[in-house]
Structure 1
């Protein structure tokens, strides 16, 4: 994909977005939030698609993420 003259690989962009998601503040929750739930909210997809995206890009959907 080309954006403003820059060539960007869509798969790299999605992988980076999933890797850099941050969970709720450590003050809001003791355990964090599942990665699939953060992907669901970030991409506006259902839980099944969110878990599939995690697996496709090498992430564990059940990993707990905290900020």
Structure 2
């Protein structure tokens, strides 16, 4: 079917791969995450505000939580 989208059965993410991205790409991805928080989930947006420094440092637990929330 053309134009049909389905949620994946699972998502596998290697957080170490994020360290290979240029800063501009990381900023672009984080902007998408912030947009998601603003539009769909106020509690997640608040979490993003509180954990922005950890996300910019690519802190493993913060990144894992962020990605998990975006995939839900």
User: TM-score, normalised to structure 1's length?
Assistant: 0.31
User: TM-score, normalised to structure 2's length?
Assistant: 0.29
Q: Which has the higher helix share?
A: 2
